[in-house]
Structure 1
Amino acid sequence: MSLRFLRLLAPLLLFPLAGLAQAQDTRVVAITQIVEHPALDAVHEGVKDELAEQGYVVGENLKLMFETAQGNSAIASQIARKFVGEQPDLIVAIATPSAQTVAAAARNIPVVFSAVTDPVGARLVQSLEAPGANITGVTDMLPLERHLDMLQRVMPDAKRVGTVYNPGEANAVALVELLEESLKARGMTLEKAPAVRTSDVLGAARSLVGKADLIYLTTDNTVISAAEAVISVGERSKIPVFAADTATVSRGAVAALGFDYYDLGRQTGDMVVRILEGADPATMAVERVEQLDLFVNPGAAEKMGITLSDELISEAKQVIR
């Protein structure tokens, strides 16, 4: 065999080896999301951006798979089983229903959840400090007492708080129970309006007219997906609508004291990177976002019959005009 022939053959032999090495170095991350709405979409973007910033680039050393369940738990289960069959390096589950379905299906694949309000109550982890299995993540448990302080500051005479929630979503039920206890301790009452589907949200909001002095929306995924329906009722009936997540303020809610769900996604992405690089999710404590920001919408307040004080507006990180 001539030397010239070997020189021509060498690159051809090395090419497949290089391709194989590149394939072996590529990590695969699957992301499942129960429904698309601004808050959860922001989590998704935050995860992707954090991965990229830490050197995991799609098309180079990272393959991303993404599916949304369109608010349907049965579809979420199908997605979970599909992803487990693909055997990715890690699965990210955004919101409680998606996290529960993935946890049930993925026994040997690391899972990182995000935007899950009560991971212990949802039976995802043994405890926040020591999850104990193949799953950990970032909780979006609300600082309810600080939220209620803000509501009473804006509407000190309000005694009846209305909320729309999905009784079939563990996240929503846990929050409503905590909310009812907190309001009772303040001498206030909670008027609950159930909505199992997004198409039920408008009717549920209408049922609160005459029963509630204000409406407070938690991070219930079913309701937040149809937040405009609640806001339209608030505008027509002059019932101020407040939200737990800041993204809903730009959609027409009066105010929210919360965190940026994009930051929640970035924090989630950082946990993903640590696990990809060898950390054990069983020993990684569940994390939460500590920074809270006030978002206000003075125009929305006027449409719903109230005026926000100049002092409150001056304290806001963002004023929606």
Structure 2
Amino acid sequence: MRRREFILAVGGAAFAVPLAVRAQQRDELRRIGVIVQVAQDDPEAQASVAAFKAAMQELGWRNDHNLQIDLRGAAGDPERMQALARELIALKPDVILARSTPVTAALLRQTRTIPVVFTVVSDPVGERFVESLARPGGNATGFTNVESSLTGKWLELLKEVAPSVKRVAFIFNPKLAPGGGSYYTRLIEASAPSFAIKPTVVPVSGADDIEHAIDEFASKPNGGLVVLPDTATLVNRNLIVALADRHRVPAIYAFRIVVTEGGLMSYGIDVLDQYRQAAGYVDRILKGAKPTELPVQLPAKFVMSINLKTAKRLGLEVPMLLQQRADEVIE
């Protein structure tokens, strides 16, 4: 081969390789749909999705490089959840990340082929999202936010910070809560006698219902609130905190963010950590694993947060031993 022809051949090959690599990178762009149950700009959603993206990046997936993330927020609206599920499924993503029971239900009504990784779901077997925790058996797997002692722990902590509590209202939206509310209802009613507490079921459908229900419940003494981890209570968390303050009613929540925004105390999963764990499952699915091969994960730990400013406003003295046990104390 002549020298000029050799140089051209080598140079052309060198030029072709980067083009091939760039083309391969474009071909390998993977698409993830993400649906959160609250509004897309809700601080809870923003923090959770940021944790997921950071974990994905640590695993080698960078948004707009080899990954495209399509984020949607349902703002607590069941009809919008259905519409967003249809919208994302039509985009044919490689996997969908879902937050909450109603969002996961909306997705699985419309696809049994696209892999779904769920987070903060209370009863995936009872909701028929999976066949069993160990062997999901379909196109969905993920992470739960409950174990059997959780509701008893809510009552125990509420009594510890407010010993005078003898009545507890537990607030939920039947359209959005696990099992229509029956999942937590059974657990709380089973736990309540151990703490000499009379439980009161308070189903609500929106802000007006919440205000009326808390106003009525707080009209009698020695009451407390257990705010269940459903979409309606999270969307309306600021209203619930304000009403609890107005009536000087102690309340315990399932999510830390409520305490950082003024709620008295919370006990529940570390939501951000669960999103980081979900990134691990999404990564494995993108690399070829099937949801049915990935067991549903139970919570590894629960975290407790206490807001001493709110306790002071409510006239409560938080025991020092309880403060020492807390993972976070806001002063």
TM-score normalised by L of structure 2:
0.88
Give the unaligned 5+ runs of structure 2: none
Give 1:14 shift: 6.2
- Give 3-state SS (helix, strand or coil) of 1:269's partner: helix
SS state at 1:296 partner: strand
Given that 1:191 and 1:208 are in contact with CA atoms closer than 8 Å, whether structure 2 keeps it comes out as: no
- Structure 1 residue 13, shift from structure 2 partner: 6.4
After superposing the two structures, state which structure 1 stretch, 265-274 or 41-50, moved more: 41-50
Q: Find the counterpart in structure 2 of residue 197 from structure 1.
A: 206
SS in 1 for 2:217: coil
CA offsets 1:110-131 (integer angstroms, 9 cap, x no match): 1100111111122211111211
Aligned residues: 320
- Counterpart mapping for 1:1-321 below 5 A: 17-36=20-39, 37-141=42-146, 143-171=150-178, 173=181, 174-211=183-220, 213-321=223-331
CA contact (8 A) 1:136 1:282 kept: yes
The question of whether the paired residues in 1 share the 8 Å contact of 2:264 and 2:306 is answered with yes
**For the structure 1 residues 191 and 23, does the alpha-carbon distance in structure 2 shift closer, same or farther, using more than 3 Å as the test?**
same
SS in 2 for 1:288: coil
- CA gap of 1:263–1:277, structure 2 versus 1, over 3 A, is same
- For 1:160, the aligned partner's letter is R
1:192-231 Cα shifts (integer Å, max 9, x gaps): 2222124532233222213461111121211122112122
SS in 2 for 1:192: strand
CA distance 1:234–1:139, change in 2 (3 Å): same
Which digits, 9 at most, give the CA deviation of each residue in 1:118-167, with x for residues without a partner?
11122211111211101000011152222222122222332201122101
Among all aligned residue pairs of Structure 1 and Structure 2, give the percentage whose two residues are the same amino acid.
Answer: 27
The Cα RMSD (Å) is: 2.3
Aligned-partner Cα distance in 1 for 2:97–2:80: 16
Is the 8 Å Cα contact of residues 154 and 252 (structure 2) preserved in structure 1? no
Alpha carbons of structure 1 residues 141 and 307: separation in structure 2 relative to 1, 3 Å? same
Aligned pair in 2 of structure 1 residues 43, 287: CA closer, same or farther (>3 Å)?
A: farther
Q: CA deviation at 1:49?
A: 1.6
Matching residue's letter, 1:209: A
